[in-house]
Chains A and B, each alone.
Chain A
């Protein structure tokens, strides 16, 4: 990989990787560390990226995802990446704190559900692309997305219901 190729990759994909890392960690400094590590890996092992196997974006998001999960395991060695049994309660939200409530709800999701919903909703990736980036099969991705949506609807119910009632009265 030449300097120009690296520069192009950085310009083209740093924002995507940063958005993903920020939404997965909830921290600007952690997200920047992950972006840096992600592109460092690309620079050191450019052969790991095979254009035939998929887009650069999915490749970089896959690296970022592994870095995020490594951090998660280091920080919370006893917590499961996927907790199906946990039932989320509706959040107590103020009317002016909708974005904060969304952030809180997404950060409360187990990491594998969170990555699925972040990639699907915010990065608008298809199920196939998510499966490729997360090294999971399609059925697992569908299942995680389904559970993530259910949990988000439950946690954000106070906002969604008030919004629905508001729209209903119009």
Chain B
């Protein structure tokens, strides 16, 4: 502040800030994880729209599998050659 304004300076000094939380420093100094460790214990954040897309894909894939036409089974009942095995 200006040298001739000690009153304002004194007043401004009354506003104190909270201390940094100890967790912050611990978090920042945490040893970095190796790739093998990440593959076993790591996690990633996935955006919600991506989750929607994946869900839609899974539902679509499930629907396609369930409606897939199964190979037609030959009907042997009406076949004249059923007994001869020529059907």
Binding site for B on A (CB under 8 A): 7, 10-11, 14-15, 18-19, 22-23, 28, 32, 35-36, 39, 98-99, 102-103, 106, 117, 120-122, 149, 152-153, 156, 159-160, 163-164
Known contacts A102-B14, A122-B12, then 6 further A-B pairs from the complex at CB < 8 Å, ordered by chain A residue: A28-B21, A99-B15, A102-B15, A159-B11, A163-B11, A164-B7
Number of interface residues of B (CB under 8 A): 22
Binding site for A on B (CB under 8 A): 1-2, 5, 7-9, 11-21, 24-25, 27-29
Is B24 a contact partner of A102 (Cβ separation < 8 A)?
no
Is B20 a contact partner of A32 (Cβ separation < 8 A)?
yes
Is A149 a contact partner of B25 (Cβ separation < 8 A)?
no
Q: In whole Å, how far is A20's beta carbon from the nearest beta carbon of chain B?
A: 9
User: Mostly helix, strand, loop or mixed at chain A's interface?
Assistant: helix
Among B2, B18, B28, max chain A CB count under 10 A is at B28
Asked whether A18 and B9 contact (CB < 8 A) given A36-B27, A99-B15, A103-B15, the answer is no
Asked whether A99 and B16 contact (CB < 8 A) given A35-B24, A149-B8, A160-B7, the answer is yes
Cα–Cα distance between A28 and B7 once the two chains are bound (Å) = 28
Q: In whole Å, how far is B18's beta carbon from the nearest beta carbon of chain A?
A: 6
Is B11 a contact partner of A102 (Cβ separation < 8 A)?
yes
Cα–Cα distance between A14 and B11 once the two chains are bound (Å) = 25
Q: Which residue of B lies closest to A160 (CB)?
A: B7
